[in-house]
Amino acid sequence: MPFFRTVFVWVFCFLSVFNAIEVFGQSLRGSSASLDRQNTQAKGHDFTVLRDPRQLKRFVGLELLVPVQANNDFILKDVSFPYARPEVQLFIDRLSSQYRRACGERLVVTSLTRPRSHQPRNASHRSVHPTGMALDLRRPRRGPCRQWLERVLLSLEGHRVLEATLEHRPPHFHVAVFPVAYRQYVSRMTSGGTSHLATYTVQRRDTLWDIARDYGTTPSAIRRENGLRSTVIRPGQRLRMPAE
């Protein structure tokens, strides 16, 4: 009896953890529910599903889509239409800067806005790429860089500011950025500072590890910068981010 009771407890704990992961959707595996959330965001922002390059060009002229240009932190690889919603540009700028500091290499963006006429054959008919709110990132070959990127994407998904999915043909991360939620998140992250790495106000449920990942730094560096004796932080606390 003790043996079966022990087995039952272990099975119950495993199922509880598995269900918790499914509820919060933080696995990078993608799902119908994830597509629902992406499309709900697109509809909530009244984003148009672009039909063809001509309509895309008109949206660029209206400044609803902005040019995305490679820099020292990221490159564009085989991107047919280098345009995106402004919040996607902001996301790329922040993530690529953090990624290069953490990994010493540039982030690779492989797709941005794709009108319906240029969607690949294996694309879902519910894809939000034609709205300009999505991008694809090449999956890093180096293990530590890949793990860093996965952790950050999961962290941001946990903050409900995007949906991220690992695709396999070819290996890449599909990321749908939720514009209003992401801008509000960035505003919280940068409040009180003159640069995007100046000051952060701790939010409820934040940990020093989460903040360090989001800023491309380490918990020990944040502790040194702020004279913290431990990793304990509290909501409302203002932390200076280590200089680049």
Average pLDDT over residues 156-176: 92
Q: What percent of the chain has pLDDT over 70?
A: 85
Domain that holds residue 219: 193-240
Query: Using an 8 Å Cβ cutoff, are 128 and 175 in contact?
Result: no
Cα atoms in the Cβ-side hemisphere of radius 13 Å centred on 85: 26
Domain count, the chain: 2
Confidence of residue 26 (pLDDT cuts 50, 70, 90): low
pLDDT at 180: 92
Is 4 within a domain? no
Judged against a pLDDT cut of 50, whether residue 15 lies above it is answered with no
CATH (domain of 236): 3.10.350.10
Tell me: do 106 and 212 sit in the same domain: no
Q: Which residues contact 45 (CB under 8 A, 6 or more apart)?
A: 133, 179, 180
Tell me: do 110 and 164 sit in the same domain: yes
Helices marked H in 53-162: 53-61, 86-103, 143-158
Please give the DSSP secondary-structure letter assigned to residue 68: -
CATH (domain of 100): 3.30.1380
Please tell me the pTM assigned to this model.
Answer: 0.72
Tell me: do 157 and 232 sit in the same domain: no
pLDDT at 11: 41
Q: Which two tokens stand for residue 93?
A: 């700028």
* Whole-angstrom distance, CA of residue 86 vs CA of residue 78: 21
Judged against a pLDDT cut of 80, whether residue 3 lies above it is answered with no
Please give the DSSP secondary-structure letter assigned to residue 127: -
Tell me: do 168 and 201 sit in the same domain: no
Is residue 79 helix, strand or coil? coil
* Whole-angstrom distance, CA of residue 49 vs CA of residue 47: 7
Is 107 within a domain? yes
